[in-house]
Amino acid sequence: MSGKLIIICAPSGAGKTTIVRHILENIPGIEFSVSATNRAQRHNEVNGVDYYFIDTESFTRKIAGDEFLEWEEVYPGTFYGTLKNEIDRIWNRGNHVIFDVDVEGGLNIKRHFGERALLVFVRPPSIEVLKERLLARATETEKSYNTRVAKAEREMEFEKFADYVLINDQLQQTLPEAIKMTENFLFKEV
Protein backbone atom coordinates (compact mmCIF):
# COMPACT_ATOMS: atom_id res chain seq x y z
CA MET A 1 0.00 0.00 0.00
CA SER A 2 2.26 2.76 -1.25
CA GLY A 3 -0.31 4.90 -3.01
CA LYS A 4 -0.81 8.61 -2.69
CA LEU A 5 -4.01 10.60 -2.33
CA ILE A 6 -5.19 13.66 -4.25
CA ILE A 7 -7.97 15.47 -2.42
CA ILE A 8 -9.99 17.87 -4.56
CA CYS A 9 -12.30 19.94 -2.38
CA ALA A 10 -14.34 23.04 -3.03
CA PRO A 11 -17.62 24.69 -2.32
CA SER A 12 -20.49 23.14 -4.25
CA GLY A 13 -20.53 24.47 -7.82
CA ALA A 14 -16.83 25.44 -8.00
CA GLY A 15 -16.07 22.77 -10.62
CA LYS A 16 -14.32 20.08 -8.60
CA THR A 17 -16.16 17.18 -10.27
CA THR A 18 -15.22 18.40 -13.76
CA ILE A 19 -11.57 18.72 -12.67
CA VAL A 20 -11.53 15.26 -11.06
CA ARG A 21 -13.00 13.67 -14.20
CA HIS A 22 -10.35 15.38 -16.35
CA ILE A 23 -7.53 14.12 -14.14
CA LEU A 24 -8.95 10.59 -14.22
CA GLU A 25 -9.19 10.67 -18.03
CA ASN A 26 -5.64 11.95 -18.50
CA ILE A 27 -3.42 10.39 -15.84
CA PRO A 28 -3.24 6.58 -15.60
CA GLY A 29 -2.96 4.85 -12.24
CA ILE A 30 -5.46 7.05 -10.41
CA GLU A 31 -8.81 5.77 -9.25
CA PHE A 32 -11.82 7.68 -7.94
CA SER A 33 -12.81 7.18 -4.32
CA VAL A 34 -16.56 6.78 -4.33
CA SER A 35 -18.10 8.52 -1.32
CA ALA A 36 -21.12 7.28 0.55
CA THR A 37 -24.20 9.43 1.16
CA ASN A 38 -27.73 9.10 2.43
CA ARG A 39 -29.08 11.82 0.14
CA ALA A 40 -31.42 11.02 -2.71
CA GLN A 41 -29.84 9.83 -5.94
CA ARG A 42 -30.08 12.37 -8.79
CA HIS A 43 -31.39 11.24 -12.19
CA ASN A 44 -27.93 11.30 -13.80
CA GLU A 45 -26.08 9.48 -10.99
CA VAL A 46 -25.13 5.80 -10.79
CA ASN A 47 -24.91 3.96 -7.47
CA GLY A 48 -21.36 2.72 -6.88
CA VAL A 49 -19.97 5.10 -9.52
CA ASP A 50 -20.94 8.60 -8.37
CA TYR A 51 -21.76 7.67 -4.76
CA TYR A 52 -22.71 4.69 -2.67
CA PHE A 53 -26.32 5.62 -1.88
CA ILE A 54 -27.26 4.14 1.47
CA ASP A 55 -30.13 4.81 3.82
CA THR A 56 -29.71 6.88 6.97
CA GLU A 57 -29.94 3.86 9.28
CA SER A 58 -27.13 2.05 7.44
CA PHE A 59 -25.02 5.21 7.35
CA THR A 60 -25.30 5.76 11.11
CA ARG A 61 -24.59 2.06 11.74
CA LYS A 62 -21.36 2.41 9.71
CA ILE A 63 -20.42 5.52 11.74
CA ALA A 64 -20.94 3.58 14.97
CA GLY A 65 -18.84 0.71 13.56
CA ASP A 66 -15.93 3.06 12.76
CA GLU A 67 -16.14 2.15 9.06
CA PHE A 68 -15.52 5.72 7.82
CA LEU A 69 -12.18 7.40 7.28
CA GLU A 70 -14.15 10.65 7.50
CA TRP A 71 -17.78 11.60 7.50
CA GLU A 72 -19.82 14.73 7.97
CA GLU A 73 -23.38 15.86 8.26
CA VAL A 74 -22.94 18.35 5.41
CA TYR A 75 -26.49 19.64 5.56
CA PRO A 76 -29.02 18.87 8.31
CA GLY A 77 -29.91 15.18 7.98
CA THR A 78 -27.65 14.69 4.93
CA PHE A 79 -24.46 12.71 5.47
CA TYR A 80 -21.41 12.15 3.26
CA GLY A 81 -18.36 10.09 4.06
CA THR A 82 -15.43 8.05 2.83
CA LEU A 83 -15.46 4.38 3.72
CA LYS A 84 -12.09 3.01 4.87
CA ASN A 85 -12.49 -0.08 2.71
CA GLU A 86 -12.79 2.15 -0.37
CA ILE A 87 -9.19 3.38 0.08
CA ASP A 88 -7.98 -0.19 0.69
CA ARG A 89 -9.79 -1.37 -2.44
CA ILE A 90 -8.01 1.20 -4.60
CA TRP A 91 -4.56 0.75 -3.06
CA ASN A 92 -4.84 -3.04 -3.32
CA ARG A 93 -5.27 -2.53 -7.08
CA GLY A 94 -1.98 -0.58 -7.12
CA ASN A 95 -3.58 2.80 -7.83
CA HIS A 96 -3.45 6.26 -6.31
CA VAL A 97 -6.69 7.66 -4.88
CA ILE A 98 -8.45 10.84 -5.96
CA PHE A 99 -11.26 12.37 -3.92
CA ASP A 100 -14.06 14.76 -4.86
CA VAL A 101 -15.12 15.84 -1.38
CA ASP A 102 -16.55 18.56 0.78
CA VAL A 103 -14.02 21.00 2.29
CA GLU A 104 -14.31 19.63 5.85
CA GLY A 105 -13.95 16.05 4.60
CA GLY A 106 -10.88 17.04 2.62
CA LEU A 107 -9.25 18.58 5.68
CA ASN A 108 -9.94 15.44 7.70
CA ILE A 109 -8.39 13.19 5.05
CA LYS A 110 -5.32 15.44 4.83
CA ARG A 111 -4.88 15.36 8.62
CA HIS A 112 -5.02 11.57 8.56
CA PHE A 113 -2.54 10.98 5.71
CA GLY A 114 -0.26 14.04 5.96
CA GLU A 115 2.40 14.24 3.26
CA ARG A 116 0.94 11.25 1.36
CA ALA A 117 -2.00 13.49 0.48
CA LEU A 118 -2.26 16.62 -1.65
CA LEU A 119 -5.12 18.87 -0.55
CA VAL A 120 -6.33 21.01 -3.45
CA PHE A 121 -8.88 23.76 -2.92
CA VAL A 122 -10.78 24.68 -6.07
CA ARG A 123 -11.88 28.28 -5.84
CA PRO A 124 -14.37 29.99 -8.11
CA PRO A 125 -13.33 33.49 -9.19
CA SER A 126 -16.09 34.96 -6.98
CA ILE A 127 -19.18 34.05 -4.99
CA GLU A 128 -21.27 35.69 -7.74
CA VAL A 129 -19.85 33.29 -10.35
CA LEU A 130 -20.47 30.39 -7.99
CA LYS A 131 -24.12 31.45 -7.61
CA GLU A 132 -24.50 31.57 -11.41
CA ARG A 133 -23.01 28.07 -11.74
CA LEU A 134 -25.35 26.64 -9.11
CA LEU A 135 -28.35 28.19 -10.85
CA ALA A 136 -27.18 26.89 -14.24
CA ARG A 137 -27.07 23.31 -12.89
CA ALA A 138 -30.82 23.50 -12.27
CA THR A 139 -30.61 20.74 -9.66
CA GLU A 140 -31.46 22.83 -6.61
CA THR A 141 -34.63 23.96 -4.95
CA GLU A 142 -34.61 27.56 -3.74
CA LYS A 143 -34.01 26.36 -0.18
CA SER A 144 -31.12 24.02 -1.12
CA TYR A 145 -29.61 26.74 -3.34
CA ASN A 146 -29.63 29.21 -0.43
CA THR A 147 -28.14 26.59 1.89
CA ARG A 148 -25.34 25.80 -0.59
CA VAL A 149 -24.51 29.46 -1.12
CA ALA A 150 -24.33 30.15 2.62
CA LYS A 151 -22.11 27.09 3.11
CA ALA A 152 -19.89 28.09 0.17
CA GLU A 153 -19.32 31.52 1.68
CA ARG A 154 -18.06 29.87 4.90
CA GLU A 155 -15.98 27.30 3.02
CA MET A 156 -14.06 29.95 1.07
CA GLU A 157 -12.20 30.67 4.32
CA PHE A 158 -10.66 27.18 4.24
CA GLU A 159 -8.51 27.80 1.18
CA LYS A 160 -5.63 28.86 3.48
CA PHE A 161 -5.30 25.24 4.67
CA ALA A 162 -4.83 23.79 1.19
CA ASP A 163 -1.53 22.62 -0.24
CA TYR A 164 -2.61 24.08 -3.58
CA VAL A 165 -5.31 26.56 -4.59
CA LEU A 166 -6.68 26.07 -8.09
CA ILE A 167 -8.71 29.06 -9.29
CA ASN A 168 -11.37 27.81 -11.68
CA ASP A 169 -12.11 30.87 -13.78
CA GLN A 170 -11.50 29.64 -17.34
CA LEU A 171 -11.81 25.87 -17.58
CA GLN A 172 -9.46 25.63 -20.59
CA GLN A 173 -6.70 27.06 -18.36
CA THR A 174 -7.70 25.30 -15.14
CA LEU A 175 -7.65 21.75 -16.54
CA PRO A 176 -4.01 21.75 -17.77
CA GLU A 177 -2.96 23.32 -14.47
CA ALA A 178 -4.75 20.53 -12.60
CA ILE A 179 -2.88 17.89 -14.65
CA LYS A 180 0.51 19.53 -14.02
CA MET A 181 -0.17 19.91 -10.29
CA THR A 182 -1.24 16.26 -9.97
CA GLU A 183 1.72 14.89 -11.92
CA ASN A 184 4.17 16.99 -9.88
CA PHE A 185 2.75 15.56 -6.68
CA LEU A 186 2.50 11.94 -7.79
CA PHE A 187 5.97 11.70 -9.23
CA LYS A 188 7.93 13.36 -6.43
CA GLU A 189 9.32 11.33 -3.54
CA VAL A 190 7.57 11.58 -0.18
Number of domains in the chain: 1
Residue 158 confidence (pLDDT): 87
- Give the domain extent around 141: 5-186
Pairing of strands 35-37, 78-83: antiparallel
- Tell me the pTM: 0.83
CATH number reported for the structural domain that contains residue 85 in this entry? 3.40.50.300
169/85: higher pLDDT: 85
Confidence tier at 151 by pLDDT (50, 70, 90): confident
Does the structure show a pLDDT above 70 at 1? no
Give me the phi and psi of 53, to 5 degrees please: -90, 115
Give me the phi and psi of 150, to 5 degrees please: -60, -40
